[in-house]
A and B are shown apart, each in its own frame.
Chain A
Amino acid sequence: MSSCSPMRVAVLPSRMADMNNSPLITASRLTKTYGTTRALNGVDLTVCAGESVAVMGPSGSGKTTLMHVLSGIITAESGTMQFLPQSTAGDHPVTVSGLSSEKRARLRRQHIGFVFQEGLLMPELTALENVAVALMLSGTPRTAAESAAARWLQALGLAGLEDRRPGQLSGGQAQRVAIARAQVTEPQIVFADEPTGALDSATSAQVLDALLDSTVGRGAPLVVVTHDPDVAARCSRLIRLEDGRIVHDSANAEVGT
C-alpha cells in the first residue's frame, strides 16, 4: 500500500516533519481503459497535505486521465479512490468512486481547485468577476464573493487589473487570474494540468511560484502535470508515468532533472 512518503524514502526529514502529514487522497489499483487503450493500469498513489507533486511522463502516458480520476471528474473502472477532507470537523472519508456525478461535481466545486493549460476564463467577465463567480456558483453572495476575489487578485499581484477582460490580459496574467479562481474557494487540494504549457519560461516561473505559494502556502497539496523540468524541479515530489503506470516516485532532491 502506498503511503504519503514516496516509494524511496524522502531526504527532507525536517521539512516533511513540519508539514501536516496526513493523507488527503488515497488511490489504489486504479485502472481506466478507453477502447483498447489502458490509460491507467494499476496506479497506487497517496497525496498528503503540504505536498507539491509534479506528474511527468510522455504524452499519452495517462497524466491527464490520472488527474481526472484523482479529482473525481471521471471514475476509474476498478480500484478505489478516497478523499479525506481535513479542515472542518465532522468531515469523514469519502469514497469518490461511489458518488453520483452530481455529488462529485459538488465535491469538486467546494473542495478542489483546478488550473488548466488555457486559463478557460469567461471572456465576457472581468478578471474580478471570473474569480468571484467560482464562489457564487456555490451560493456565496456577490459582495462577499467579490471582496474575496479582490483579495486573491491582490495576493497574486494583479491589483489594478480587476476590471480587465481576459482578452486584455497577458498570458501570464490570465493564468494568475485562473489561479485566483482556483484558490478563492480555499480548496483542500489543487490540480493543475500543464498550467505553464502555453507560457514562455520566464513567465512560467512566475506563474508556478504563484501557484505553489498560493496552494502549499495554505497547507493544501498541489498536483501539477508538466513537461517542464524546471517546473518539476520546484515541486517536493516527482512522479513519472509510462503507459498508465507509475514508474518513478521520489522526493525531488533525489531526482535532479
Chain B
Amino acid sequence: MIRLFLGRLFADRTVWALPVAGFALTSGIGLMVFGGAMYFYTLPDTEDRMLYSVYATAALILLVIPMLALMGSAARLLAHRRDERLAGLRLLGASSGQLRRLVLAESAALAVAGILTGAFLYVALMPLVGRLPFAGAPMGVSGLWLGVGLLAAACGVLLVFAMAAAFVGLRRVEVTPLGVRTRQAPQRVKWMRAVIAVAAVVVVFVLHTMVPIRGELVIMVVAFAFLAVPLLAVQLIGPWVLKLITARQTRRAGTAERLIAARNVLDSPQRMWRQVGGVAVAAFIGVIAGCGVGLISLAEFEQGSEEAMIFADVARGVWLTLFIAFLLTACSVGLNQTAQILDQRDLYSGLAKTGVTLTQLNRIRSLAVMRALAAVLVVAVLAACIVAMPIVGWAILTTPVSVLTIAAVLMAGVLLIYFGTLVTRLTMRAVVEAG
C-alpha cells in the first residue's frame, strides 16, 4: 500500500516538484548559513571570536523566521493536492490509521529528497560562498564545511522540522468515512505555529550551547532575549498591520488588477505575511545597523588595522544577512504564489477564456506580492527611523552615502523578490494554455 502511494506520488511532477524544491531551498540556504555561523564560532580563540560569535548569533536569530516561513511553505505545498489522492485511497478501502501513516511516509519521502538536494546545493555552492572574506581571510571551503557528523545532525534537525510542519498540516486534514477534507481551523494553526517558532528558537539555542563557548554564554543569552522577544512580537503584530493597510488599498483600488490583488491579500493577511513578513525585521535591523556602520566609518581607521578589518566584516555581515533574508523571502514568494496559482487553476484558465490576458493575470499576482511587500518595508523602515532617530538622523546628515547604500540594498532586495514573482509566470502560462 505504501509503495503504491509513494509510486503515485512521484509519478505526478506537479505533486512532488514544489515541496521538494521548497525543502531543498530551505535546507541548502539553512546549511550554508549554519556553516557560516560555525566558521565564526570556531575561529581561533582570540578576543575577536567572542565578538564574531555574537554577530553570527544575531544574524542566525534574524534568519530563523524567514527560514521557518520557507519551511512552512514547503510543508503546505506538500499538503497541496494531498486530499484528492487520499480520497482515492479511501475508496480503495484504506483505514484512517493507514492514511495517517501514508501521509507521514509521504512527508518523510519528500522531505528526505528535498533535504538531500539541499545538502548537495550546500556542498556545490561552498567554493563560491567560501570566497567571501571574513576575519582577515576568505572563509574557504574548509571554513564552511560542517563536517560529516554535524552535517548529518543538521539534516536530521531539518527532517524533524519538516515532519513537524507536515504533522501540523495533517491535523488540518479530517479523515471521515466519506472521504478526506481540509478542516477549517485557523486559530489552532496559529497556535501551533507559535509553538514551532518557540521550539525552533530553543533548538537554535541548544545548538549554540553544544558549540564550545565559555564565558560569552551569558552575553549570548542576553543578546538572544534582546532580539528574539521583539521578533516574536512582530510576528503577531505584522499580519494585523498588513490587514489595515490592505483594507485601505482595497477601498482605494481604481483598477481591476489592484482591487483583485488587494482582496487577495486581505483574504488572508497571515498567508501573505508568511511570505513577505521576513523582510520586516531584516529591513528594520538593516536600516539601524547600516546607519550605525556608516557613522562608525566616519572614524579614521588605520589602514590594515584590526579595527578596520572587524569594521569591514560587520558591514559585510549586515549586508549579507539582509541579502539572505531577501533571498529566503524570494523563494517563499515564488513557491507560495506558484501553489496558489495551481490551487486556483480552474479560475485562472476560466478568466483567460473570458478574455483576461496573461499579462493582466500576472499583474494581479505581482501586485498582490509587491504592494504587500511595499507596505511591510515602509512600515519597517519608518519604525527603524523612529526607534533609532538619533542614529538615522545623524547618518543622513553626516554620511548620506551610507544612507543611499541602505536604500540601494533594499531596492536590490525588492528586485530579488520581484524575480521570485517572475518565476510564477511560467506556471500561470502553463495553467492558461492548458485551458
Which A positions have Cβ atoms within 8 angstroms of B? 68, 71, 73-74, 102, 105-110, 112-114, 116, 118, 120, 122-125, 129, 133-134, 136-137, 141-142, 182
Contacts and interface: CB of A to CB of B under 8 A. Distances in A.
The CB with the most chain B CB atoms within 10 A, among A71, A113, A118, A120, is that of A120
B266 interface: yes
B254 A141 contact: yes
B259 A136 contact: yes
B414 to A, nearest CB: 24
A24 to B, nearest CB: 17
A142 B253 contact: yes
A171 B420 CA distance: 37
B138 interface: no
A124 B263 contact: yes
Contact of B260 (A109, A114, A125): A125
Contact of B346 (A102, A112, A120): A120
Nearest to B255: A136
B355 A108 contact: yes
A108 B351 CA distance: 11
Given A122-B347, A124-B267, A133-B259, A142 B254 contact: yes
Interface string B241-261: 000000000000111100110
A106 B259 CA distance: 20
Q: Which 3 A-B pairs have the closest CB atoms?
A: A109-B355, A108-B355, A136-B256
Contacts of B190: none
A105 B354 CA distance: 7
B183 interface: no
Given A120-B346, A120-B350, A142-B254, A105 B263 contact: no
Contacts of A74: 435
Interface string B328-366: 000000000000000000110011111111001000000
Given A68-B353, A141-B254, A142-B255, 18 more contacts: A68-B435, A74-B435, A102-B357, A105-B355, A107-B355, A108-B353, A108-B355, A114-B350, A114-B353, A116-B353, A120-B350, A122-B263, A123-B347, A125-B259, A125-B263, A129-B259, A137-B355, A142-B253
B254 A112 contact: no
Given A136-B259, A142-B259, A116 B355 contact: no
Given A109-B354, A120-B347, A122-B347, A133 B260 contact: yes
A182 B353 CA distance: 12
Given A123-B267, A124-B264, A142-B254, A105 B357 contact: yes
Nearest to A137: B256
A120 B352 CA distance: 11
A123 B324 CA distance: 34
Interface of B: 253-256, 259-260, 263-264, 266-267, 346-347, 350-357, 360, 435
Given A118-B346, A120-B346, A109 B263 contact: no
Contact of B356 (A68, A109, A118): A109
B430 to A, nearest CB: 15
A116 B352 CA distance: 12
Contacts of A105: 352, 355-357
Contacts of B255: 136, 142
5 contacts: A73-B435, A108-B355, A109-B355, A133-B256, A136-B255
Contacts of B351: 120
Contacts of B254: 141-142
A114 B350 CA distance: 9
A114 B259 CA distance: 22
A112 B355 contact: yes
A110 B355 contact: yes
A74 B434 CA distance: 11
Q: Taking each of A107, A110, A134, A141, which has the highest tally of chain B beta carbons within 10 Å of its own beta carbon? A: A134
Contacts of B435: 68, 73-74
Contacts of A133: 256, 259-260
B360 A137 contact: yes
Given A133-B260, A136-B255, A137-B360, A116 B267 contact: no
A108 B264 CA distance: 25
B350 A116 contact: yes
Nearest to A118: B346
B263 A134 contact: no
Nearest to B252: A142
Contacts of A113: 354
Contacts of B266: 124
A133 B253 CA distance: 11
Given A122-B347, A124-B267, A142-B253, A108 B260 contact: no
Contacts of B259: 125, 129, 133, 136, 142
A106 B350 contact: no
